[in-house]
Amino acid sequence: MTSGILHVDMDAFFASCEVARRPELRGRPVIVGGLGARGVVSAANYPARAYGVHSALPMAMARRRCPRGVFLSPDFTEYKRVSDSVMAIFRDVTPLVEPLSVDEAFLDVRGARRLFGEPREIAEGIRERIFAEHDITCTVGVAPTKFMAKLASTKAKPDGLLVIEPDGVLAFLHPLPVSDLWGVGEKTASSLARLGLHTVGDVAALPVARLRAAVGQAAALHLHELASGRDPRTVNVTREEKSVGAETTFDTDVSDPDVLRRALLELSNKVGSRARRAGYVGRTVTVKIRFDDFRTITRSRTLHTPTDVARELFTLANALLTEHSGGAALRLIGVRLEGLVETGRVARQPALGEREHGWRDAEQTVDSLRERFGAKVVRPASLLDPAAGDH
């Protein structure tokens, strides 16, 4: 076993992209996210984090904590452009790249040594090239397994590089708190603490049978393997999208059923369009509901036949929302299509009585028109707002 797995994680990616194209912001606290009254923080650079600002924090609270911060709306087109370029840098080194999101990826560089040197040299070269080409920093963890590489990058943040050699895995791993194990949240940590297990080494030393009594069979085996430094997962270059979704946060809490239906229809159209553009259909529709007290639930229903048709998504999502919202005031709603498979791998069976050229054909035509003339050129009649001059 060699330390040939890299986990590369961009540092405060959205905020770093903004500072890179606006050098006058360097050193200042920069917060990116929704700027409305109900917006949340998407990213905060490290000067902003010193004030207690972090992702998912309500923007109103971020403004109170950091009143002199620079607050910016996200520019996802720019972030995707930089992300695509960074991923291309990775693939210049090795074809074995597994993107996890726009700003992080696993790389298997064991086969790249002859061309680019040892893993540490490869990691240093990647960091230097990203900084030279984009003026942003990243942190790299290098280890024999994906779990250890991810852990190494977490400990080296920000703008760092940490290499864990195979013979140093247990010495590095065992003194760490159990919360550093992948899959251990507050509830599991409490269960382990009741057994007197506070460090990763404690978990590794405990027989699996006793661990099983606290966390169950599957979790016991999983945690014991990780605590012993074992992780059989390989870098997966064919990693598929798991879901496509969209959500909206209202400026004020909403309980009006008509307003909620309009918002849900718009979200369903976004999700259907994104799925078609990516070449996927999905079998499970999930609705996310956040109430005015911040309590959040998700509810799902599975279709017999996978779909990418917004009308079908809306029908199911609306039924879920009606059933589970209870008429309460809502802060946020979202729609997600899960259980994705490539469109070409599914033979779509028309519903009984459905026309040969039905809703899917109509929505594909709308997709084409929007690509040519803009997102608002064609909209469902129920989304038109006469007061805003839509007609």
Which residues are annotated as part of the binding site for Mg(2+)?
A: 9, 103
Percent composition of the chain: helix, strand, coil (DSSP 3-state, to 5): 45, 25, 30
Clarify whether 354 is annotated catalytic.
no
Which among 88, 70, 80 has a CA at the least distance from the CA of 19?
Answer: 70
Instruction: Give the pair of three-digit tokens for residue 335.
Output: 């729609």
Which among 380, 382, 372 has a CA at the least distance from the CA of 269?
Answer: 380
State the Cα–Cα distance between residues 90 and 103, nearest whole angstrom: 12
Radius of gyration of the chain, Cα coordinates, nearest whole angstrom: 24
Alpha helices in 10-141 (DSSP H): 13-21, 46-49, 59-65, 76-93, 113-116, 119-134
Q: Which residue of the set 18, 24, 78, 104 is catalytic?
A: 104
Instruction: Give the pair of three-digit tokens for residue 347.
Output: 């033979």
State the Cα–Cα distance between residues 48 and 39, nearest whole angstrom: 17
State the Cα–Cα distance between residues 257 and 358, nearest whole angstrom: 27
Find all residues with CB under 8 Å of 233, minimum gap 6, and list them.
145, 146, 147
Instruction: Give the pair of three-digit tokens for residue 49.
Output: 């984090």
Q: Which residues are annotated as a binding site?
A: 9, 103
Asked whether 286 and 300 are in contact (CB, 8 A), the reply is yes
End-to-end CA distance of the chain: 65
Which among 20, 102, 31, 114 has a CA at the least distance from the CA of 67?
Answer: 31
Enumerate the active-site residues. 104
